[in-house]
Chains A and B, each alone.
Chain A
Amino acid sequence: MDEFLWRALLAGLLVAMMAGPLGAFIIWRRMAYFGDALSHSALLGIVLGIALGINITLAVIMVCFLLALILVLLKFKSGLQEDALLGILAHGSLALGLVAWGLFDGVRLDLFAYLFGDILSVVWSEVLLVFVLTCLVLIILYRIWQPLLQITVDESLATVEGVAVKGTLLIYVLLIAALVAVAIKLVGVLLTTALMIVPAATARGLSRTPVQMVVIASLIGMVSVVAGLGLSLYLDVATGPAMVLVTVILFLLTLSFGLHLLKS
Chain B
Amino acid sequence: MTEKAPQKEALIQLENISLELQGKQILKSVTMTVLPQQIVTLIGPNGAGKTSLLKVMLGLLPASKGTVFRQPGMVVGYVPQRLHIPQTMPLTVAVFAGMASKASQQTIQDSLHEVGLSVPLDQSVQSLSGGEFQRLLLARALLRRPQILVLDEPAQGLDFTGEAEFYHLIASLRERYHCAVVMVSHDLHLVMAATDQVVCLNTHVCCQGRPESISQDPEYLQLFGQGLAKEFAVYHHEHDHHHTADGRIVCDPEDHSHG
Contacts and interface: CB of A to CB of B under 8 A. Distances in A.
B162 interface: no
A154 B88 contact: no
A212 B94 CA distance: 14
| Chief secondary structure at chain A's binding surface | helix
Contacts of A149: 99
B78 A209 contact: no
B88 A161 contact: no
Interface stretch (B79-87, B182-190, B217-225): B79-87
A160 B89 contact: no
Interface string B93-116: 001100110000000000000000
A156 interface: yes
A64 B58 CA distance: 35
Given A209-B95, A210-B95, A157 B83 contact: yes
A11 B150 CA distance: 49
| Chief secondary structure at chain B's binding surface | loop
B76 interface: yes
A160 B91 contact: no
Residue among A159, A160, A209, A210 with max Cβ neighbours from chain B (10 Å): A160
A161 B100 contact: yes
B245 interface: no
Given A28-B89, A157-B80, A159-B60, A150 B100 contact: yes
Residue among B59, B60, B78, B90 with max Cβ neighbours from chain A (10 Å): B90
Contacts of A27: 88
Contacts of B59: 159-160
Residue among B78, B92, B122, B150 with max Cβ neighbours from chain A (10 Å): B78
Contacts of B92: 208-209
Contact of A28 (B88, B100, B122, B124): B88
Interface residues of A, number: 23
A152 B90 CA distance: 12
Residue among A149, A204, A209 with max Cβ neighbours from chain B (10 Å): A209
A232 interface: no
Nearest to A155: B60
Contacts of B91: 153, 209-210
Interface in A6-44: 27-28, 30
A254 interface: no
Residue among A30, A152, A156, A204 with max Cβ neighbours from chain B (10 Å): A156
A216 to B, nearest CB: 10
Given A161-B78, A204-B90, A154 B83 contact: yes
A194 interface: no
Contact of B88 (A146, A150, A204, A208): A204
Interface string B37-75: 000000000000000000100111000000000000000
Nearest to A30: B86
B144 interface: yes
A207 interface: yes
Contacts of B95: 209-210
A213 interface: yes
Given A153-B91, A204-B88, A209-B91, A146 B99 contact: yes
A152 B89 contact: yes
Contact of A212 (B76, B88, B90): B90
Contacts of B80: 154, 156-157
Contact of A160 (B58, B86, B87, B96): B58
A213 to B, nearest CB: 5
A160 B76 contact: yes
Interface of B: 55, 58-60, 76, 78, 80, 83, 85-92, 95-96, 99-100, 122, 124, 144, 150
16 contacts: A28-B89, A156-B55, A156-B60, A156-B80, A157-B78, A159-B59, A159-B60, A160-B59, A160-B150, A161-B78, A161-B100, A201-B88, A208-B92, A208-B122, A208-B124, A209-B92
